[in-house]
Amino acid sequence: MIKILFVVPYPEIGDTVTKLYEKYCDTEKVQLDIILSHLEELEKRDLSTVDADVIVARGYTSTLLKNKKLSIPIITLNISVYDAISAIDECREKYSSKKIGFVGHYQAFSNLETLSNRFGCEIKVYSPDYYTGAEEYISKAMADGCDTIVGGYAVSRCIDKFNINFCLVKSVEATLFDSLSEAIRTAEAIQNERIRLGVYQTIIQSSSNGVIFVNSSGIIKVANTESSKMFRKQLSGQSIENIKFLSVASFKHVLTTGKAIEAEIFNVNETTLSASYTPVSVKDNIVGVVITIQNVTKVQKLENIIRQKLSKKGHFAKHTFDSIMHKSSIIDETINAAKLYALSNSNIMIVGETGTGKELFAQSIHNASNRKDGPFVAINCAALPENLLESELFGYVGGAFTGAEKKGKTGLFELAHNGTLFLDEIGEISLSMQSKLLRVLQEKEIRRIGDDGNISIDVRIICATNKNLKEMIKTGDFREDLFYRLDVLKIYIPPLRKRAEDIPLIFNSITEQINNGVCPSLEEDAEELLKSYRFSGNVRELENIAERVCVINKNHNIITKSDLEKALFPEGIVSRQAETITEEKQTSPAPANYENHILSEKDIIIKTLAKYGGNKTKAAADLNMDRSTLWRKLKKYNIN
């Protein structure tokens, strides 16, 4: 609501203003109040409690109100040329005036003398500094031969003391309308400025950082509460030179060059702070500097909390290329290719056997890419049935299906926006799901289950598989068009058996972690045995072997060949994974229980299931494979 107050000397003005207000103003948005008061009364009146956005007053009334130094803006209702001409016409009609003396406020009558003789009479202007000098100037006008006096309400109150004709200068309707319109515009501008300042103050005061504005003279004009807490003193009004922790040199440099300075570290009251200096420009002139101060300790804690939360949600890539332990040239080449691919925005397919570290490479690529500040979202496509996989990838609206959360759920594609989505075991998704995935890759849009609107996404896809997708295309199990959408860049991760020199390095790192920093040494023949082992499960199997060895060799600092044989070939194990590279080449004797390893994979699975009475979880653990992998092999070999 805009509040306008008119202070008028006589009722006619108030009546006209009220009529204009009711006719032209939106009375729900603008409130009009009128005070009828002559100057003597107004001078004694306390106006400090007046509730108005703008006050409108004429002549000496406006001057009086301005002298009271109110916090409310005063708009002067000026006498227009139309008002003056109306007064001249009235004088000539009533009194046949030959010389008219205009007595009153200078701004109101300053240009009227130029109208002399244009209306058949002479015009003379007399402007006392204040209304109390009106009588003196009336006398001067009479002495100069004026036969008629024209003036405002202040002059009318003393004119009876003189024997002379008088006309009251009145504000015509057009003048009052202009003043009312100007008052509304001024009030709106003031309110908008108050809102703007209120927003700025709220932003500054609600900031968890210290915010200080220093003008070009080096005086702190604004300092939020947080900055005062940091320095434990009131900063506003002080010179920057008196705040010893702030850099006067940096302030002057930014003020002179217009170039910001970032992250200057300093300590205040045993707290580490960081200050950034940013120039403030108005019409290409630098008028000051904003200094933003952060509590470094708080920032680090907050960053850790965010990282922990993202990590728990699986939306954070913790590994880099430095995490890939190796010394083989083949992995060097693979990493170099992956680093090159990371610079691109194209989709990547990572191919490799189970346990070779495909997700490790995916995370490293993400952290080396221009998306490293975005989310990294990973999902194993084989771990969920088709309907759940769809809802996980695309999300759903509330009540989309039985059991759906009421508020709906954001899908992984949305969560990965501006980041990377890692689809592990991509070869396991159904043809129906492949079609939906293809549409997303083509349109760069997803639609939540149960929704009728599309959501644009910007996601880089990294997928991984241990299957030959080209063979699956031939059998009709994988879409060729989807394959070429995913297989833009390809990385092949070699199995451990093709980089034997990496095996002891990785093995020692794992045993060191298991033993809390103590790494038992491998005897030479034990190391050779380890390097010759096939490791069909690759690093994942190596981790199991390392843990098994640490249990067997719990109180010793040396791992012997005997210790390793017990871990590699425990009695009763039925798994062709016990084959070694040397056995394949028939360059070394088979282990004592080798007869178990010459069985076909199908026979081994059947035998292991029988051993555990058909319990697939126990059988999968014994076979050292994931339960989902076992399910696929049961389907592959048609084992019921």
Whether 208 contacts 298, CB under 8 Å: yes
The span from the CA of 138 to the CA of 129, in Å, is 13
Q: Are strands 348-351 and 489-492 parallel, antiparallel or unpaired?
A: parallel
What's the pTM?
A: 0.47
The secondary structure of 315-384, three-state, reads CCCCCCHHHCCCCCHHHHHHHHHHHHHHCCCCCEEEECCCCCCHHHHHHHHHHCCCCCCCCEEEEECCCC
Same domain, 233 and 281: yes
Best CA proximity match to 463, nearest among 321, 347, 342: 347
Same domain, 439 and 467: yes
pLDDT exceeds cutoff 50 at 579: no
pLDDT of residue 341: 94
Same domain, 232 and 261: yes
- Among the listed ranges 147-156, 175-184, 296-305, which one has the minimum average pLDDT value? 296-305
DSSP one-letter code for 112: G
Tell me, what CATH number does 156's domain have? Answer: 3.40.50.10660
Tell me, what CATH number does 610's domain have? Answer: 1.10.10.60
Domain end among 296, 326, 360: 296
Same domain, 442 and 513: no
Angle subtended at Cα 141 by Cα 139 and Cα 145, rounded to the nearest 5 degrees? 115
Same domain, 91 and 221: no
Same domain, 154 and 234: no
Q: What is the mean pLDDT of residues 13-19?
A: 85
pLDDT of residue 435: 94
Beta strands in 245-284 (DSSP E): 261-268, 271-282
Whether 60 contacts 108, CB under 8 Å: no
Tell me, what CATH number does 318's domain have? Answer: 3.40.50.300
Total tally of structural domains belonging to the chain: 6
- Among the listed ranges 126-130, 333-337, 378-382, which one has the minimum average pLDDT value? 126-130
pLDDT of residue 555: 66
**617 occurs within a structural domain:** yes
Domain end among 267, 296, 325: 296
Whether 409 contacts 452, CB under 8 Å: no
pLDDT of residue 201: 75
Q: Which residue has the tokens 């989902």?
A: 628
pLDDT of residue 571: 56
Upper half-sphere CA count for residue 170 (Cβ side, 13 Å): 19
Domain that holds residue 559: 496-595
pLDDT of residue 348: 96
Model confidence at 463, pLDDT cuts 50, 70, 90, reads very high
**51 occurs within a structural domain:** yes
Q: Which residue has the tokens 């993400």?
A: 366
What pLDDT, in 10s, does the model give residues 258-312?
888 887 887 777 778 888 899 988 877 888 889 888 887 677 666 555 544 554 5
- Maximum average pLDDT range among 251-260, 422-431, 517-526, 587-596: 422-431
Model confidence at 142, pLDDT cuts 50, 70, 90, reads very high
Same domain, 431 and 344: yes
- Among the listed ranges 23-32, 155-164, 487-496, 593-602, which one has the minimum average pLDDT value? 593-602
Q: Which residue has the higher pLDDT, 236 or 474?
A: 474
Same domain, 111 and 71: no
What pLDDT, in 10s, does the model give residues 314-344?
677 889 999 999 999 999 999 999 999 999 9
**367 occurs within a structural domain:** yes
Q: Buried (b) or exposed (e) across 157-192, using 16+ Cβ within 10 A?
A: bebeeeebbbbbbbbeeebbbebbeebbebbeeeee
Q: Which residue has the higher pLDDT, 581 or 33?
A: 33
What pLDDT, in 10s, does the model give residues 51-70?
888 888 877 788 888 888 88
Same domain, 338 and 434: yes
Whether 316 contacts 307, CB under 8 Å: yes
Q: Which residue has the higher pLDDT, 633 or 504?
A: 504
Domain end among 469, 492, 515: 492
**192 occurs within a structural domain:** no
Tell me, what CATH number does 584's domain have? Answer: 1.10.8.60
- Among the listed ranges 87-96, 145-154, 157-166, 609-618, which one has the minimum average pLDDT value? 609-618
Q: Buried (b) or exposed (e) across 594-631, using 16+ Cβ within 10 A?
A: eebbeeeeeebbbebbeeeeeeeeebbebbbbbebbbe
Same domain, 163 and 279: no
**194 occurs within a structural domain:** no
The dihedrals phi and psi of 260, each to the nearest 5 degrees, come to -70, 155
- Among the listed ranges 210-219, 302-311, 441-450, 467-476, which one has the minimum average pLDDT value? 302-311
DSSP string for 536-565? TTHHHHHHHHHHHHHHHTTT-SEE-HHHHH
The span from the CA of 364 to the CA of 55, in Å, is 68
What pLDDT, in 10s, does the model give residues 211-248?
888 888 889 888 888 888 887 788 888 888 888 778 88
pLDDT exceeds cutoff 50 at 467: yes
Same domain, 88 and 51: no
Model confidence at 376, pLDDT cuts 50, 70, 90, reads very high
Identity at 105, one-letter amino acid code:
H
Same domain, 456 and 326: yes
**247 occurs within a structural domain:** yes
**200 occurs within a structural domain:** no
pLDDT of residue 403: 64
**202 occurs within a structural domain:** no
pLDDT of residue 387: 81
